[in-house]
């Protein structure tokens, strides 16, 4: 690898023994000699550090052919409904953490990107919930506030459960990463009810 001096005026690479720039005659007596091999190694090290920093702040996603970004666990696009199970998983830099609800059967993933949603067979997530008769048309409210996620029951028939415990219809309960939500049913003797819907809370 070559050694050279970089002219501070015009940027031309000069032989290391030159005292004046071969292009513009700028004085190079005080300009340090650069070893290209060392320069390359330092650049690669810097690039690796940047890549590592990006990786730490990245989340994994699947991008649909329609252009919509979906969480990595998604099998169908949240925008157009197309099968994306074979689409590659890639990184997406995003400093903000987001909450997602993943169905227990992993057939459905819902990303919470608004402050307030109503879940039920005739509201948000209806494309999945309409196949679950134990879920009410307006079953529960999910609230995203100050980076925290909360849920409140609306159903007067089959209720809402968090970690197998029935929740109140009077106040919101805070949810955490890994919590299990049961809409229309809980687990009985370790068995979940087929006509109810169950979701795991995840942060991405």
Name the H helices within 112-177: 126-129
* Cα distance between residue 40 and residue 110, in whole Å: 45
**Distance from the first to the final alpha carbon of the chain:** 45
| Together in a domain, 108 and 81 | no
| Together in a domain, 128 and 176 | yes
Joined together, the tokens standing for residue 41 give 């190694």
Domain end marker among 95, 119, 146: 95
Overall average pLDDT of the 181-196 stretch: 91
* Cα distance between residue 196 and residue 177, in whole Å: 21
Joined together, the tokens standing for residue 2 give 């070559």
| Together in a domain, 24 and 106 | no
Q: What is the pLDDT of residue 47?
A: 54
| Together in a domain, 32 and 128 | no
| Together in a domain, 195 and 122 | yes
| Together in a domain, 140 and 194 | yes
Q: What is the pLDDT of residue 57?
A: 47
| Together in a domain, 42 and 103 | no
Which candidate, 200, 126, 120, 122, places its Cα nearest to that of 158? 120
Taking 80 as the threshold, does the pLDDT of residue 38 lie above it?
A: no
Q: What are the φ/ψ torsions at residue 42 (nearest 5 degrees)?
A: -65, -40
Which candidate, 59, 79, 58, places its Cα nearest to that of 68? 79
Number of structural domains (the chain) is: 3
Joined together, the tokens standing for residue 43 give 């650049």
Query: 1 pLDDT band (50/70/90 cuts)?
Result: very low
| Together in a domain, 147 and 192 | yes
* Cα distance between residue 129 and residue 182, in whole Å: 12
Q: What is the tens place of the pLDDT at every residue in 72-108? A: 878 888 889 899 888 888 877 554 568 999 999 888 9
What pTM was estimated for this model as a whole?
A: 0.55
Task: Find how far residue 72's CA is from the centre of its chain.
Answer: 8
| Together in a domain, 44 and 71 | no
Q: What is the tens place of the pLDDT at every residue in 50-74? A: 455 444 545 678 889 998 888 887 8
| Together in a domain, 78 and 128 | no
| Together in a domain, 64 and 77 | yes
Residue 80: give the domain boundaries: 57-95
Which candidate, 98, 84, 149, places its Cα nearest to that of 119? 149
Joined together, the tokens standing for residue 33 give 């000699």
């Amino acid at each position: 690898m070559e050694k050279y001096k970089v002219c501070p005026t015009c940027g031309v690479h000069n032989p290391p023994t030159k005292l004046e720039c071969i292009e513009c005659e700028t004085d190079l007596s005080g300009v340090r000699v650069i070893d290209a091999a060392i320069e390359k190694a330092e650049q690669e090290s810097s690039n690796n550090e940047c890549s590592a920093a990006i990786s730490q702040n990245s989340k994994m996603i699947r991008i649909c052919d329609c252009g919509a970004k979906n969480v990595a666990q998604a099998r169908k696009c949240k925008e157009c409904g197309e099968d994306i199970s074979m689409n590659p998983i890639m990184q997406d830099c995003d400093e903000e953490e987001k909450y997602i609800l993943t169905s227990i059967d992993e057939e459905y993933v819902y990303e919470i990107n608004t402050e307030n949603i109503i879940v039920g067979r005739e509201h948000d997530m209806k494309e999945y919930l309409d196949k679950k008769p134990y879920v009410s048309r307006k079953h529960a409210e999910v609230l995203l506030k100050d980076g925290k996620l909360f849920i409140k029951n609306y159903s007067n028939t089959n209720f809402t459960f968090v970690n197998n415990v029935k929740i109140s219809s009077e106040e919101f309960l805070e949810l955490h990463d890994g919590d299990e939500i049961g809409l229309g049913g809980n687990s009985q003797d370790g068995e979940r009810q087929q006509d109810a819907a169950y979701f795991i809370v995840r942060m991405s």
